[in-house]
Amino acid sequence: LPNRAYKPAVVLTEVEAVAQSDSLFSDPNADAWHDVASEIEVEGMFNINSTSVSAWTALLRNMYDEDVPELSIS
C-alpha cells in the first residue's frame, strides 16, 4: 500500500494472500471496501477518546516545545 502506516491485520503466506484475493475479485460487490478495510490496521494510531493516562502523557510529552499553529482573528 502507498501509506506505510497501513499494515495487514494478519500476515498471510503468499499462497494464502493469492487465494484470498482471488475469492475477493471473483465475487465483486458494493461492500468490498469493508472486507478490505477489516484486514488492515494502522501502526501507531492514537485514539483521541482514550482514557489512558500513560497514552496521553506520552503523546503530550512528545509534543513539548513544538510550535503550535494559531489563527489570528482581527
The domain tally of the chain equals 1
For residue 72, is it within any domain?
Answer: no
Predicted pLDDT at 30 = 67
**Contact 41/1 with Cβ under 8 angstroms?**
no
Q: Which cell numbers hold the place of 72?
A: 489570528
Give the C-alpha separation, 30 to 61, whole Å.
43
* Cα distances (Å, whole numbers) of residue 19 to 11, 29, 30, 33: 14, 18, 20, 18
Residue 11: domain span: 6-62
Residue 39 lies in a domain: yes
**Residue 70 within a domain:** no
Q: How does DSSP assign 54-73, residue by residue? A: HHHHHHHHHTTT--------
pLDDT of the chain along its 74 residues, tens only? 677 888 888 888 888 878 877 666 666 666 777 777 777 888 877 889 999 999 999 989 988 888 888 888 87
Cα(29)–Cα(36) distance, rounded to whole angstroms? 12
Q: Is 12 a domain residue?
A: yes
